Structure 1
Amino acid sequence: MLIHPWDAPTEDAEWQHWLTRHDFGQLTVNGPPGEPPLVQPLHFAYAPDLGEAVTHLARPNPIWRAIEAAPAVLLSVVDDYAFIPGPWQAAEDEPPEHGVPTSFYAAVQLTCTAHVVDAPEAKAALLQRQLGHFQPEGGSAPVRAEAAPYGRQLAGIRGLRLEVREVRAKFKYAGKRSEAVQQRISERLAERDAPGDAEARAHQQRRLATTRRR
């Protein structure tokens, strides 16, 4: 992923905060020689204080053999995207038809070492962490290795602990454009109000405010 200086996070807290609210991504694992990578969509719970994410998958999933052969994996998350028409991006001294269309998006890629979790007690603790993230209001029985309702089902899954080795983050929201052009784009996003436009506009305005404070 190419990251220009104007698209880079202003600080680690920017991507960390974003990632705690975007917990569905794609896990990419190297395939066998000559074969494409394996890509698995999944929910995960990220813990910045521990430097890891946890998830689980069904035991028959073919990704396990690939992980055991090559535990270096990539967890990719992309969201808050919007298509930006060319005229919106035209410089102030250019005719609108000379503007070039682009995409806005936020993306975080975590390069990880994958650790497979098979011990029943460890799997139960991992699932409890996920429940605590996705269902903080409670309402479900605790996850215990030897108790209903989860105990008998643990054999059908394997846990996965993703130890984060490197983070690459990008917030592509016209950071290299003048403030006047960025404000024009923000106004057009508000007028169009298509899915994703409000989130993209919020990112753009937040990053503009950060730039002004510098």
Structure 2
Amino acid sequence: MLIHPWDVARDDAEWQQWLAVHDFGQLAVNGPAGEPPFVQPLHFAYDPELGEALTHLARPNPLWGALEANPEVVLSVVDDYAFVPGPWQAEPDAPPEQGVPTSFYAAVQLRCRAHLVDDPAGKAALLNRQVGHFQPEGGTAEVAAGEVPFGRMLSGIRGLRLEVTGVRAKFKYAGKRTVEVRDRIAGELAGRDAPGDAAAREHLLRRQRA
């Protein structure tokens, strides 16, 4: 992923706060020799203090053999995207038709070392942490190995602890444009109000204020 200086995350807090509420991504795992990578969509819970992401998958998933062969993976998350028409980006002294269309988006790529979790107690603890992230209000019974209602289901999954070893974060929101052009884009996004436009506009204005 190319990251220009004007698109780089301001600091760790920027991408960590974004990732805390964008917890669905794609796990890219090296495939066997001569084969393309495996790409698995999944929910995950990222813990910035421990520097790891937690998830689980069904035992029949074909990723497991690839992970055992090579545990180096990438967890990729992209969201808050919007298409920006060319005229919105035209410089004030240029005709609108000379503006260059582009895409706005936020993206975080976590390079990780995968650790498989097969111990029933370990899987139960992992699942409880995941549920605690996604369902902090409670309402679901705690998972405990060998106990109802979920203990018998643990054999059907494998846990996955993703130890983060590197981060690439990008916030592509007209960072190299003039204030006048950014203000115009913000106004156009508000007026169009298509899916994703409000979030993209907020990123543009937030980074402009910073």
TM range (shorter): over 0.9
Distance 2:182 2:149 in 1: 53
Using the TM superposition, give the Cα deviation of residue 146 of structure 1 relative to its aligned residue in structure 2, in angstroms: 1.4
CA offsets, 1:37-92, max 9 Å, x none? 00000000000000000000000000000000000000000000000000000011
Distance 2:9 2:156 in 1: 39
Distance 1:62 1:74 in 2: 17
The question of 1:134 aligning with 2:113 is answered no
Q: What aligned pairs does 1:192-211 form with structure 2 within 5 A after superposition?
A: 192-210=192-210
Percentage of matched positions with identical amino acids: 72
Quote the residue 2:61 is aligned against: 61
The question of 1:151 aligning with 2:147 is answered no
Using the TM superposition, give the Cα deviation of residue 149 of structure 1 relative to its aligned residue in structure 2, in angstroms: 1.1
CA offsets, 1:148-169, max 9 Å, x none? 1110000000000000000000
Quote the residue 2:108 is aligned against: 108
Quote the residue 1:163 is aligned against: 163
Distance 1:26 1:192 in 2: 29
Secondary structure in 1 aligned to 2:65? helix
Quote the residue 1:72 is aligned against: 72
The alignment covers a number of residue pairs equal to 210
Using the TM superposition, give the Cα deviation of residue 93 of structure 1 relative to its aligned residue in structure 2, in angstroms: 1.1
Amino acid at match of 2:22: H
Using the TM superposition, give the Cα deviation of residue 183 of structure 1 relative to its aligned residue in structure 2, in angstroms: 0.4
Cα RMSD (Å): 0.4
TM-score (norm 1): 0.98
Which segments of 5 or more consecutive residues in structure 1 lack a partner in the other structure?
Answer: none
Using the TM superposition, give the Cα deviation of residue 95 of structure 1 relative to its aligned residue in structure 2, in angstroms: 0.4
Distance 2:39 2:157 in 1: 18
Quote the residue 2:99 is aligned against: 99
Secondary structure in 1 aligned to 2:185? helix
